[in-house]
């Protein structure tokens, strides 16, 4: 991978998670030019990024779980930790999913019901880091409660950000839906 390729991947993924740009629709392509890349004062970072073995997942994990405003943020001590934790989580997703369910109320509906426009329990558990974003995405895939939340949650800031993050991250989340449904049936009989 060339440094320009790393630059293009960074820009396309950053745009995917922060704007209306769709990484999949445009196959990661952007309108960035080599000339504009060569003029950047921070292009040295992209030389370093181009050496990463798993650049796409490194970027995704940090854009989802880190605080990345510009490419230099990817070179602090936490970036590698965020990537390693993300990799661990995605490789054992059903394990983490099952553990996350233990933090929820025993009657599933009590976790997604909204009272007086307030955040439902499941969203609170996510915001408290008791439930992973992947669990939120999987549960919505199975029960499709996000449209209900969009109508009933009165908060226009936090939920909107979480919803966008889940929507943008969903195509990257790979899991066995049959295993997850089986785990759900066992947990919420």
Q: Where are the domains of the chain?
A: 3-87, 93-187
Q: What angle do CA 29, 35, 38 make, to 5 degrees?
A: 100
Q: Please report the pLDDT score of residue 76 as a whole number.
A: 85
Closest to 178 (Cα-Cα) out of 85, 91, 97: 97
Q: Where are the alpha helices (DSSP H) in the chain?
A: 3-18, 34-39, 43-49, 55-65, 77-91, 93-101, 109-112, 121-127, 133-143, 146-152, 158-169, 177-187
Asked whether 13 and 74 are in contact (CB, 8 A), the reply is no
> Residues 138-189: pLDDT tens digits?
999 999 999 999 999 999 899 999 999 999 999 999 999 999 999 999 998 7
- Token pair, residue 98, equals 């099952």
Give the mean pLDDT of 3-26.
96
Cα-based distances in Å from 161 to 2, 8, 155, 158: 33, 24, 10, 5
* Topology of the domain covering 3-87: Helicase, Ruva Protein; domain 3 (1.10.8)
pLDDT tier at 30 (50, 70, 90 boundaries)?
Answer: very high
State the first-to-last Cα distance of the chain, in angstroms, to the nearest integer.
49
How many angstroms separate the CA atoms of 145 and 172, rounded? Answer: 20
Q: What CATH class has 93-187? A: mainly alpha
State what percent of residues in the chain have pLDDT above 90.
94
Distance CA 141, CA 138 (A): 5
Question: pLDDT tens across 74-118, in order?
Answer: 998 899 999 999 999 999 999 999 999 999 999 999 999 999 999
pLDDT of 66 strictly over 80: no
Look-up of token digits 């966008």: 164
Can you give the pTM of this predicted structure?
0.92
């Amino acid at each position: 991978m060339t440094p320009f390729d790393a630059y293009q991947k960074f820009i396309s993924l950053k745009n995917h998670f922060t704007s209306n740009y769709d990484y999949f629709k445009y196959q990661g392509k952007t309108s960035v030019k080599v000339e504009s890349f060569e003029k950047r004062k921070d292009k040295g970072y992209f030389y370093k990024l181009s050496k990463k073995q798993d650049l796409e997942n490194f970027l995704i994990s940090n854009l989802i779980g880190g605080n990345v405003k510009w490419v230099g943020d990817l070179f602090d001590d936490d970036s590698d930790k965020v990537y390693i934790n993300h990799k661990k989580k995605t490789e054992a997703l059903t394990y983490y999913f099952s553990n996350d369910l233990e933090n929820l109320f025993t009657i599933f509906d009590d976790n997604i019901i909204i009272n007086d426009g307030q955040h439902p329990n499941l969203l609170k558990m996510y915001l408290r880091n008791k439930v992973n974003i992947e669990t939120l995405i999987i549960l919505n895939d199975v029960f499709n409660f996000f449209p209900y939340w969009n109508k009933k949650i009165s908060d226009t800031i936090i939920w909107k950000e979480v919803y966008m993050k889940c929507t943008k991250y969903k195509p990257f989340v790979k899991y066995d839906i049959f295993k997850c449904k089986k785990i759900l049936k066992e947990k919420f009989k």
